[in-house]
């Protein structure tokens, strides 16, 4: 018999060209317009915050994996995406060491200590944000620069004029402003339309399904209309356009490892996130509830997954008997 | 045109253009070639030889058979001399006892074959016995003896007989060719099957990437005696559309119950080649001796569809049609999704052979390192059995047999869609298959 010279493997012998780095790359592309907009609104300080957060996230991932003797997987781009999302949750006024602390919590504590990529039970970027909110509230929510005033404020020591986020406002702001984004806020929550654009891009590219964002936004709109006293329709519109809702719905609540797998589970996730968001915003102590809503729902994902398993083919009692099928 | 399909699944690239336009060409073995007949060419008990070493055998002569219920005889496909009994390598990598026959090139036929039967005047048992006598098994690759499939357990009322011409495996084009070249024989063969189940209707399922096949079949269905008895079903070219359970669901909307058989829900599915062979067995009295095999892939010099004599080795066929264009990276018996990779071509073609796929390095999947599961859910949205491959993979890796069974591991049809789509290149179907084999072996022991 001739010597074996062809490789033997199990099936399948062809595979799709999907890859983890490809998916993460698409998410990064989807976030790019928002990143550019934040620099446009808040100046080069915003760029600095983004760069520091992304770089420190990648560095912490590499460092942790190096110290624990694991393979370094920063090339899958997931740490970079986490860094980008964390940066979008920070105002441009933060001191520059703050993003580094946030990256540590996000990458090392929320992600790597639980097993790394795919094993984290909560969204790492939101965990980082939640920690910073709890530990450094004055820096995180002490003040937001109005858009288009940050250009002269590269020096962080300069006392800057701060304004409240629109969610603290007494009257609804101009909707066009909210939609386009030139209002005060954290880096990534300002321009609803750019986030929407990025989110639709991800849906179009089949990176995410519309289940979570659609139910999240629709339910928030409906609940705000129902429960909000005073402004009605405008109030509801205001709630879905402002704060981190769009960013959370498209980019945070859809995080693979901390969101349900089945379509039904995703719908529950979206509705749950919306419910908690509205409760916090209308009746809670914080003006913004999206991040805590998502974190709380993250913790419910194992349960949701357990109870929303799809029926297996040929397992329904409906299909046991021929006469019932015909 | 209404296009039918099943839920979930995916769309791999078709790669059918290599060979789909090539008319089937007959290839005979050369004088003095050795033909090899493994005793295991079907699901069930292997055959034992009914000839002796040194015997002269004729084309169509029965050379091996078994008394077992689940079995099917094997016939010589050439005239020549029985050279030896030895083992032979199968595409699966297993070996089987085999009869080796050296052909004399005369192609002298057994006088017992070529008897035209009139099936309309035969009883059901006589028809089934004729089908068994022709050595017919499921030619789509599964190899389940056809006479048993056409004789379901009592109490099952069959009302739909489905011809599987979906050909959802990329690269393969044999079903496509027979749809065009033997249109009427397919329907005549199906009429024989329908006659076994009074009142039943026939369906021919074809994917829409074979529009000319659909049109030819639809035109033929307008003629007598097919009109009103047989209809053509256009299917979405989605993988695994040709899997039995998915095909039945697409055409009838019925689900084969877990652990059940198609006859439980009134269906019988046969590959298009099997149906033609039923026609050949009854109308012309010929046992199954030929098989159409697609030679394809970027490394094949002359891709095409070849009607071979079973028992020929892949290497004999390849040499007769020009060999390789370039050194192949991987050789596969069958399609790229479910076929077996082979380390040598010194392997005989049997009733189960469908194709020889010569993949270049660029065409074949790299053997890549597994990355962590990112829970993207692509495998879940691809699984045609509605399972959670990522969970089954986990249960397999941690050796949790109970959870594996509870998670539907034994419902898996091993189509490989999960592994195909996984961005982390995880060995999903591979790990699931290992545990399935374990459970099956355990069941066989009991």
Beta strands in B20-168 (DSSP E): 25-26, 34-38, 48-49, 56-57, 62-65, 74-75, 80-89, 95-103, 160-165
For B165, the token pair is 């011409």
- Residue A171 banded pLDDT, cuts 50, 70, 90: low
Give the model's confidence band at B329: pLDDT under 50 very low, under 70 low, under 90 confident, else very high: very high
**pLDDT band at residue A139 using 50, 70 and 90 as cut-offs:** confident
The chain B residue lying nearest A8, using CA atoms, is B341
- Asked if residue A142 has pLDDT above 90, the reply is no
In B, minimum Cα distance to A120 occurs at B374
pLDDT tens digits, B33-89: 999 999 999 999 999 999 999 999 999 999 999 999 999 999 999 999 999 999 999
Q: Is residue A200 pLDDT above 60, yes or no?
A: yes
Domain locations along chain A? 20-307
Cβ contact, residue pair B255, A5, below 8 Å: no
Q: How far apart are CA B365 and CA A12, in angstroms?
A: 8
- Looking at the partner chain, which of B374, B387, B411 has a beta carbon nearest the beta carbon of A257? B374
Q: Which residue has the higher pLDDT, A153 or B381?
A: B381
Q: What is the ipTM of this complex?
A: 0.89
pTM, rounded to two decimals = 0.90
Return the HEC string of chain A.
Answer: CCCCCCCCCCCCCCCCCCCHHHHHHHHHHHHHHHHHHHHHHHCHHHHHHHHHHHHHHHHHHHHHHHHCCCCCCHHHCHHHHHHHHHHHCCCCCCCCCHHHHHHHHHHHHHHHHHCCCCCCCCCHHHHHHHHHHHHCHHHHHCCECCCCCHHHCCCCCCCCCCECCHHHCCCCCCHHHHHHCCCCCCCCCCCHHHHHHHHHHHHHCCCCCCHHHHHHHHHHHHHHHHHCCCCCHHHHHHHHHCCCHHHHHHHHCCCHHHCCCCHHHHHHHHHHHHHHHHHHHHHCCCCCCHHHHHHHHHHHHHHHHHHCCCCCCCCCHHHCCHHHHC
Between A2, A15, A311, which is nearest B386 by CB?
A: A311
Taking the CA of residue B297 as centre, how many other CA atoms within 13 Å lie in the half-sphere pointing to its CB? 33
Nearest to A16 among B266, B414, B421 (CB): B421
Q: How far is A159 from chain B (nearest CA, A)?
A: 44
| Distance of residue B196 Cα from the nearest chain A Cα, in angstroms | 20
Average pLDDT, chain B: 93
Q: Are the beta carbons of A85 and A125 closer than 8 angstroms?
A: yes
pLDDT at A155 over 90: no
Enclosing H/E stretch for B441:
helix B428-445
A164 pLDDT more than 50: no
Which residues in A41-65 are b (16+ Cβ under 10 Å) and which e?
Answer: bbbebbbbbbebbbbbbbbbbebbb
Structure-model confidence comparison of residues A131 and A188, the more confident one: A131
B207 vs A193: which has the higher pLDDT? B207
Under CATH, which architecture does the A20-307 domain have? Orthogonal Bundle (1.10)
Please name the helix (run of DSSP H) or strand (run of DSSP E) that holds residue B340, with its range, or none: strand B340-342
For chain A, what is the radius of gyration of the CA atoms?
A: 22
Q: Which of A92-106, A137-151, B286-300 has the lowest mean pLDDT?
A: A137-151
Give A148's pLDDT tier (boundaries 50, 70, 90).
Answer: very low
Which pLDDT value is given to residue A45?
Answer: 87
**Run of H or E residues at B207:** strand B201-207
Pick among A16, A25, A266, A318 to test the B interface (most B CBs inside 10 A): A16
Partners of residue A4 in chain B, C-beta under 8 Å: 343-344
Do B93 and A312 lie within an 8 Å CB cutoff?
no
Q: Which CATH architecture has domain B3-14+114-283?
A: 3-Layer(aba) Sandwich (3.40)
B399 Rama sector, left if φ>0, alpha if ψ -120 to 50, beta otherwise: left
Please say whether the beta carbons of A236 and A224 come within 8 A.
yes
Mean pLDDT calculated for residue range B380-401: 94
Compute the distance between CA of residue B95 and CA of residue A250 in angstroms, rounded to an integer: 55
With helix as H, strand as E and coil as C, how does A127-149 read?
Answer: HHHHHHHHHCHHHHHCCECCCCC
List, edge to edge, every strand of the sheet that includes B267-271: B3-4, B230-235, B201-207, B160-165, B267-271
Residue showing tokens 């493997």 = A9
- Domain regions of chain B by residue span: 3-14+114-283, 378-445
| Nearest-10 crossing angle of helices B272-283, B124-133 | 110
* pLDDT recorded at residue A315: 84
Q: How high is the pLDDT of residue B105?
A: 87
Q: Token digits for B421?
A: 């789509």
Q: Does A14 touch chain B (CB under 8 A)?
A: yes
Q: Which of B93, B256, B423 sits opposite A20 (nearest CB)?
A: B423
Rounded CA-CA distance A314/B249 in Å is 10
Contact A11 B338 (CB under 8 A): yes
pLDDT at A165 over 80: no
B 294-333 residues inside an 8 A Cβ radius of A: 328-332
| Interface with chain B: mutation pick from A12, A24, A298, highest number of B CBs within 10 Å | A12
pLDDT band at B116 (very low <50, low <70, confident <90, very high): confident
């Amino acid at each position: 018999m001739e010597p074996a010279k062809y490789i033997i493997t199990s099936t399948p012998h062809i595979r799709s060209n999907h890859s983890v780095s490809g998916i993460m790359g698409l998410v990064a592309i989807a976030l790019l317009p928002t990143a550019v907009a934040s620099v446009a609104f808040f100046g080069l300080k915003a760029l600095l915050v983004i760069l520091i957060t992304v770089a420190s996230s990648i560095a912490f991932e590499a460092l942790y994996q190096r110290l624990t003797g694991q393979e370094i997987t920063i090339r899958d781009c997931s740490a970079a995406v986490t860094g980008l999302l964390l940066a979008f949750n920070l105002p441009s006024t933060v001191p520059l060491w703050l993003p580094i602390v946030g990256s540590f919590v996000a990458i090392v504590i929320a992600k790597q200590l639980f097993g790394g990529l795919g094993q984290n039970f909560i969204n790492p970027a939101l965990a980082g944000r939640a920690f910073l909110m709890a530990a450094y509230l004055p820096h995180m929510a002490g003040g937001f620069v109005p858009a288009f005033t940050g250009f002269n404020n590269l020096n962080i020591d300069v006392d800057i004029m701060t304004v409240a986020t629109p969610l603290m406002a007494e009257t609804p702001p101009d909707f066009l402003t909210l939609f386009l984004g030139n209002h005060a806020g954290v880096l990534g929550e300002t321009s609803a339309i750019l986030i929407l654009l990025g989110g639709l891009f991800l849906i179009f590219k089949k990176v995410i399904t519309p289940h979570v964002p659609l139910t999240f936004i629709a339910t928030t709109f409906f609940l705000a209309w129902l429960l909000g006293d005073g402004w009605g329709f405008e109030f509801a519109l205001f709630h879905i356009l402002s704060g981190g809702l769009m960013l959370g719905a498209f980019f945070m609540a859809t995080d693979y490892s901390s969101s349900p797998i089945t379509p039904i589970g995703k719908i529950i996730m979206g509705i749950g996130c919306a419910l908690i968001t509205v409760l916090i915003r209308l009746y809670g102590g914080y003006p913004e509830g999206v991040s805590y809503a998502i974190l709380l729902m993250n913790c419910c994902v194992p349960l949701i997954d357990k109870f929303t398993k799809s029926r297996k083919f040929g397992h329904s009692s409906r299909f046991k008997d021929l006469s019932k099928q015909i | 045109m209404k296009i039918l399909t099943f839920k979930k699944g995916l769309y791999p690239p078709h790669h059918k253009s290599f060979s789909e336009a090539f008319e089937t060409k007959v290839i005979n073995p050369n004088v003095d070639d050795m033909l090899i007949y493994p005793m295991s060419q079907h699901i069930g008990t292997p055959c034992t030889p009914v000839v002796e070493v040194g015997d002269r055998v004729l084309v169509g002569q029965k050379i091996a058979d078994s008394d077992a219920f689940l079995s099917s005889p094997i016939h010589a496909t050439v005239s020549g001399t029985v050279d030896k009994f030895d083992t032979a390598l199968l595409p699966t990598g297993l070996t089987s006892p085999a009869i080796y026959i050296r052909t004399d090139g005369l192609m002298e036929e057994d006088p017992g074959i070529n008897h035209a039967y009139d099936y309309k005047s035969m009883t059901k048992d006589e028809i089934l016995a004729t089908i068994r006598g022709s050595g017919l098994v499921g030619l789509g690759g599964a190899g389940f003896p056809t006479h048993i499939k056409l004789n379901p357990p009592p109490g099952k009322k069959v009302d739909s007989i489905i011809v599987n011409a979906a050909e959802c495996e990329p690269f393969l084009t044999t079903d496509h060719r027979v749809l065009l070249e033997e249109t009427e024989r397919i329907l005549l063969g199906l009429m024989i099957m329908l006659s076994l189940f009074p009142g039943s209707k026939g369906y021919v399922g074809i994917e829409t990437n074979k529009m000319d096949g659909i049109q030819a079949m639809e035109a033929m269905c307008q003629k007598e005696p097919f009109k009103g008895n047989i209809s053509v079903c256009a299917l979405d070219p989605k993988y695994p559309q040709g899997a039995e359970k998915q095909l039945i669901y697409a055409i009838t909307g019925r689900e084969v119950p877990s652990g059940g058989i198609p006859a439980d829900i009134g269906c019988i599915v046969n590959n298009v080649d099997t149906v033609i062979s039923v026609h050949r067995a009854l109308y012309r009295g010929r046992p199954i001796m030929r098989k159409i095999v697609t030679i394809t892939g970027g490394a094949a010099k002359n891709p095409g569809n070849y009607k071979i004599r079973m028992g020929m080795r892949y290497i004999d066929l390849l040499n007769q049609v020009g060999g390789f264009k370039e050194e192949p990276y991987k050789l596969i018996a069958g399609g790229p999704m479910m076929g077996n990779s082979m380390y040598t071509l010194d392997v005989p073609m049997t009733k189960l052979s469908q194709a020889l796929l010569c993949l270049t390095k660029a065409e074949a999947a790299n053997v890549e390192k597994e990355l962590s599961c990112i829970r993207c859910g692509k495998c879940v949205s691809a699984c045609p059995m509605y399972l959670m491959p990522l969970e089954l993979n986990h249960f397999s890796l941690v050796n949790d047999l109970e959870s594996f069974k509870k998670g539907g591991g034994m419902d898996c049809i091993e189509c490989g869609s999960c592994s195909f789509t996984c961005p982390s290149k995880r060995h999903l179907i591979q790990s699931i298959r290992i545990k399935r084999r374990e459970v099956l072996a355990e069941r066989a022991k009991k």
